[in-house]
Amino acid sequence: MIESIGTTSLESFRVEAHKLLENTIKKNQEEQQTNNSTQQDKVSLGNKPVETGTYTAAVSDAELGKTFTMLRDLFAATLKEQGVATLVANGSNDINIESLTPEEATELVSDDGYFGVDNTAKRIFDFATGMANNDPSRLNAIIDGINDGFAEAEKAWGGTLPEISYATRDSLQTMLEDWSGQEVDLGGDQA
């Protein structure tokens, strides 16, 4: 499990990943222009100083597929290096992050997808209320635990989570209010 990710490390990783992407796209274009030469791609990552800046390269739909694959593989390799499994159970079957397609990823976070807002909020709700022995008098402990979890996630992500996370928090707040009959504040005006 990831204990702590520093903002500087995330920024360096993001910049390095963008440079890797730019180099890969450039190399692919050069290879196509030289009639598919037999030279293989080579990638090296090092601890070189990295210039910060905004990535503005235009990416075509074909390159987007390559980009997804490259980032997925980089993510899976990072998880493996940290001893984190790349196989995730989603209730009915397992998802292998190493072979996940863009279409499958999109489906997983769709409204009805396993990692969609309401389905994820329901799993968190079920876990939290189960840990509280389904006792509404323990609502404050549930709220504190959820708020602490979001704060830790924001810290790990450098301050702000993806929008889907805040939508999930809002859905979870509604579920807790319906369950407890009380107003609930899960901490944020982020949504």
Which string of DSSP letters, residue by residue, matches 99-125? G--HHHHHHHTSTTSTTSHHHHHHHHH
Residue 84 clears pLDDT 90, i.e. is over it: no
SS3 content of the chain, % helix, strand, coil (to 5): 60, 5, 40
Q: What is the dihedral of CA 92, 93, 95, 100, to 10 degrees?
A: -90
Output the pLDDT for position 141: 92
pTM of the model: 0.58
Distances (CA, A) of 39 to 29, 62, 100: 13, 21, 28
- Going from N- to C-terminal start, the domains of the chain cover 7-100, 117-180
pLDDT digits (tens, 9 = 90+) for 118-170: 999 999 999 999 999 999 999 999 999 999 999 998 998 888 888 999 999 99
Higher pLDDT, 93 or 42: 93
168 touches 119 (CB < 8 A) = no
Instruction: Answer whether residue 115 shows pLDDT above 80.
Output: yes
- Looking at the DSSP bridge assignments, the partners of residue 89 are 94
15-31 pLDDT tens trace: 676 677 677 777 766 76
Q: Both tokens of residue 28? A: 């692919």
Quote the mean pLDDT of the chain: 77
| Per-residue pLDDT band at 188 (split at 50, 70, 90) | low
